[in-house]
Amino acid sequence: MLDVRDLGVRLPTAHGMLDALAGVTFEIGRGETVGLIGESGSGKSMTALALMGLLPEGAQTRGSVRLDGRELLGLPEAEMCDLRGRRLAMIFQEPMTALNPLHTVGDQVAEPLRVHGGASRREARAEALRLLERVRLPQARQRLDAYPHQLSGGQRQRVMIAAALACGPDLLIADEPTTALDVTVQREILDLVAELVSSSDMALLLISHDLGVMARCVERVLVMYGGRVVESGPTRELFDRLSHPYTRGLFAARPHLGQGRGHRLMTIPGRVPELADVPPGCPFADRCGFVVEACRAALPPPVPVGPAHAARCIRLDVVAQSPLP
Amino acid sequence: MTTAFAPTDVLVHPPPGHDAPLLVVQDLSKRYRLPREALLAAPPVVEALRHVSFELRAGRSLGVVGESGSGKSTLARLVMALEAPSGGSVTLLGRDLHRLSPAELRAARRDFQMVFQDPYGSLDPRQRIEAIVAEPLAGTASERRTAVVEALEAVGLRAGDLAKYPHEFSGGQRQRIAIARALITRPRLIVADEPVSALDVSVQAQVLNLLDDLQQRFGVTYLFISHDLAVVEHLCDEVVVMRAGEIVERGTPSRLFHGAEHPYTRALVAAVPEVRRGLP
């Protein structure tokens, strides 16, 4: 359904035009769930914005993004606007900033129905109520006329999801949808998203820095670093055979419940690079313990390591022999 | 990385786990009065903290977990004597912090310092690192500079960073600066409110290891507030679980997270998404 080929985005910065994304290639089938893992500056949110046609002004794109064969890059804004909400919908990390504080919850959920569906005010309101009930907003009927500030964070996120679902999109992009929420509420929201996806043929692109969230929610994972996809594969297979040095480092850097006190966490030296500091060749070269001169020469190609599982690393044989941190 | 933080200083501190507790929180309560809803009605009252009691021994770490609104941050503010309690006491090194005179409290503050969640918001962007880190410290300019350099080195930054501004550092480095500022008075207690939550995963580990090292070297005691159970288990000897202003369960992390009795603790543990990796 969605076919992203060699997607690149260049952004104007104080240091000139810089690559925010390069060579990003993946597909999402109808009803499929895919996760993008990465830290700040890895390019995961930029990927989402490129798919939605919401890139910052002056951004240059390369490659192609096709939705059922139709090229989205370079599409006139009016046509892109028609696709947003109707076929592609997005929910954000902080529902308080994404919702309009001056409009009632009912109006905001109804808006896409009136814009895209041409529904009357009364029809849209009835449908908004149905959607709010579907995302299990407590006391949905009374809350139609409530304002966002009268709701809790978890309830606001439910409202955002309801608005995103309004037109029955083919792809839901969820950018860190639970990061700002308490852990028990996180669980409820993730379960809700999983349930909505499995009960329709809507596909999900879930963006998160949390490996645990990915393990629970998606069938396939892409690991991003420095604007490149450095590893990708089916979730279970990828976690069973962590291959790229960055993915392995990310896994080892997190304390896990049950490890107990006092052991030393593995660290990845240095920090996530700014756009201007992403080295040529492998973006992880400056922080990698396995780096050799050849790593800096060119971006390594995806090397197959298992069924549908590949990593962009030329040292995989050496990496695989070293104990997992 | 010696002198002001020399081993002799560590020896002055009693070895961990011995003698009287460093911090005693006794029956601590805090009520907030909300704005009146009707002219003649009594204003509604929120009980943010209800009869919370615990002890913390020198050189140990106590984790406080709970969701937003559970009272964890109110507890931190009362322990830091940033607000007065409605009832109960906070006793550090035998002194009831909320009964000290303003001058005594100012002097006592060198014994307890705080590290906040947001390394972007907690450092003044217009001040150089030297001024930021030296802020809690009295003394002559040269004494202060020596102490700043030592504190920066203790957290893995360099003397060359003295004249820089906060924006020149990454999030993880800013949190190191905030920790250096907390360390500079050589406090016995550091209250850390979600100190790694705003950091990238690969940088979190560096800061967690640093907090561990500082405890080993200087015998610092931590009151560690977090919603992240795995982080708490990693750093703490004991945990209290808070809900609606009360402690609902307490114990060692391994007992709490693997054999919790309170349904709320069990719900918290069950909600943590974990990666279950098969063996290679």
pLDDT in tens, B184-206: 988 999 999 988 887 788 778 88
Q: Average model confidence (pLDDT) for chain B?
A: 85
C-alpha distance from A4 to closest chain B C-alpha (Å): 27
| Backbone region of residue B40 per phi and psi (left: phi > 0; alpha: psi in -120 to 50; beta: other values) | alpha
Nearest-CA distance from B99 to chain A in Å? Answer: 35
- What is the residue-wise DSSP string for B104-120? HHHHHGGGEEEE-S-TT
pLDDT digits 0-9 by tens, A257-293: 777 776 788 888 877 787 778 888 999 999 999 999 9
Question: What is residue A159's DSSP assignment?
Answer: H
Per-residue H/E/C for A26-69: EEECCCCEEEEECCCCCCHHHHHHHHHCCCCCCCEEEEEEEECC
| pLDDT, mean of residues B250-274 | 84
**DSSP of A2-32:** EEEEEEEEEEEETTEEEEEEEEEEEEE-TT-
Interface of B with A in 183-212 (CB under 8 A): 200-206, 208-209, 212
To the nearest whole angstrom, how far is the Cα of A1 from the nearest Cα of chain B?
A: 29
- Predicted pLDDT of residue B276: 58
Residue of chain B nearest A191, judged by CA positions = B271
Q: What is the pLDDT of residues A224-252, one digit of tens each?
A: 999 999 999 999 999 999 999 999 998 88
Query: Within 10 Å of residue B270's Cβ, how many Cβ atoms?
Result: 11
Per-residue confidence (pLDDT) for residue B18, from 0 to 100: 54
What is the distance between the alpha carbons of residues A59 and A76, in angstroms, rounded to a whole number? 15
Contact: A187, B170; criterion CB under 8 Å: no
User: What number is the average pLDDT over the span B44-66?
Assistant: 93
A193: amino acid identity, one letter: V
pLDDT at A65 over 90: yes
Residues B246, B48: Cα–Cα separation, whole Å: 9
Give the A-side interface with B, CB within 8 Å. 39-40, 153, 182-187, 190, 209-216, 236, 239-242, 249-251, 253-268, 271-272, 324
Residue among B209, B212, B230 minimizing CB distance to A257: B230
- B236 to chain A: which residues are within 8 Å by CB? 261
Distance from C-alpha of A19 to C-alpha of B142, rounded to nearest angstrom = 46
Other C-beta atoms within 10 Å of A115: how many?
A: 17
Report the complex ipTM: 0.76
